[in-house]
Amino acid sequence: MVGALALACAVAGCTDRGTTTVVPGAAQPGQVQTVYVATTRQANESGWFGPGRSSDTSYAQLQVAVPKQRQLGQLRAGFARVNPNRQFAVTARSTLDNRQRFLARLTADLAQLPSRQRDITLYIHGYNNSYLEGAYRTAQLAHDFALPGLAVHYAWPSAASPLGYTYDRDSVLFARDGLEQLLRDLRKTGAKRVVVVAHSMGAMLTIETLRQIEIANSGWSRRHLDGVVLIAPDLDIEVFQSQMARFDSLPAPFAIFVSSRDRALQLSARINGSSVRLGSLEAVEKLAQYPVTIIDVSAFSSLSDGGHFTVGSSPVLIELLGRSQELNRTFETDRAGRAGLLPGTVITVQKATQLILSPHLASTAN
C-alpha cells in the first residue's frame, strides 16, 4: 500500500498542479464555463493558490474552456503546458478583491438570468485536489450535466498529494468556518435555489460545516439549502450518524452516491481502520432513520479510474442522470416516486431509500 502511494506521488510530482497558463485563444462558443471560486488556500508565487492554509478567503471568477475533443465525463486538466484542444484550460481570470465584490458579482450575474434559472450549484472538492483541479471539475460537471444558473467552487487547502491524507483531514477542520461563511453568503445573492455537491473528503467538510451551523441555528440547512448531494463520501458511518444527531431535519433532497467498487474508499477504510466508508455503503439499514436517497452506482464504476468519481466520469451514467427534467422530478416527488423514475432496484427501509442503478436497465429504458 505504501509503495503504491509513493509511486502515485512520484507520478503526480512530475507536474505542478497548482499553476497554469491563461490561454485566451482557447475560448470557443458554447464551450466556456464560468466558475466562481472562494478559497481558503494561500496564494503561491505564481499568483495561483497552493496547499497552504489562509485565515482569509480569496475570491475569483474563472472562465474555463471545455475541450471539444473529449468523451463525455472525461477531464484532462491543463497546467503549465496547455493543449486546449484536449485539455481543460483557463481562458480568463478576474480577481475579486473582497467578499463584497464577490457577492456583488454573483448577485448581478444571477439577476441577468431568467427567473427559473437563478440557481447556484456549489461544488466542494475532495482529497488530493489542487485549486485548479477543483475549478476544472466544477466546470466539467456544469457543462456535462447542463446545470442551470451559476457554478461556484469552494477550494479548501488540500495538499494535492497522495501522501497528504492526514494534512487534508486537518484542513477539513480548518476550512469549516470559511465554508460556513460562503454558504450563508450565497443565500444573500437572490438565488432561487442553492444546491451543494461535495465529493470524497469534501463531503466530510460539508457535513461538519452544516453540523456547526445547525448547532447555532437549528433548521438552517433545511430552510436555506435546496439539496445536498454527496458523491463517494469519505466519511466514517458512525461519525456521520453522530453528525446527523444535530439536525432537526435535513435538506431535501439529500442524496448519497455510493459504490462498492471504489478503490480509493477501500484504501481509506484500511487507513482509518474501518470496514467500510459511507461512500461504499451497501446496507441501507444503517441509515434507515434518515430521509436520504442512497444511489448505488457500483455497476457503472470503472476499475481503470478507480471508481471514485463515477457520477462525473461514466458517460452512460451522465446521460442517465443528466436528463434534467427526469432528475428534477426524481427529487421533487415522494420517496417511492423519485426512485421509480430512474431504472434500477429500489429498496425502502423506514425513511431511507436505496436505488441500485443498472446499466442494463438504463439501456432498456431508453
How do residues 110-158 score in pLDDT, each as one tens digit? 999 999 999 999 999 999 999 999 999 999 999 999 999 999 999 999 9
CA-based nearest residue to 206, from 160, 243, 170, 237: 243
Distance CA 16, CA 132 (A): 10
Among 31-45, 183-197, 203-217, 343-357, which is the least confidently predicted range?
343-357
Is 50 exceeded by the pLDDT of residue 11? no
Distance CA 184, CA 182 (A): 5
The arithmetic mean of pLDDT across residues 207-235, rounded, is: 96
Residue 111, pLDDT score: 96
| Residue in the structure block whose three cell numbers are 437572490 | 190
Predicted confidence (pLDDT) per residue in 232-281, tens digit: 999 999 999 999 999 999 999 999 999 988 888 988 988 888 878 999 99
The arithmetic mean of pLDDT across residues 166-176, rounded, is: 97
Residue 80, pLDDT score: 83
Is 80 exceeded by the pLDDT of residue 343? no
Residue 26, Cβ neighbours under 10 Å: how many? 24
Residue 105, pLDDT score: 97
Residue 135, pLDDT score: 97
Is 50 exceeded by the pLDDT of residue 335? no
Is 80 exceeded by the pLDDT of residue 338? no
Predicted confidence (pLDDT) per residue in 290-318, tens digit: 999 999 999 888 766 678 888 888 887 88
Q: Are strands 119-124 and 49-65 parallel, antiparallel or unpaired?
A: unpaired
- Residue 39, Cβ density class (10 Å: 0-12 exposed, 13-18 middle, ≥19 buried): buried
The alpha helices in the chain, defined as continuous H runs, are: 2-12, 99-111, 131-144, 165-174, 176-186, 201-216, 220-224, 237-244, 263-272, 310-313, 315-321, 324-332, 335-340, 359-365
Residue 39, pLDDT score: 98
Quickly state the pLDDT bin for 10 (edges 50, 70, 90): very low
Residue 116, pLDDT score: 92
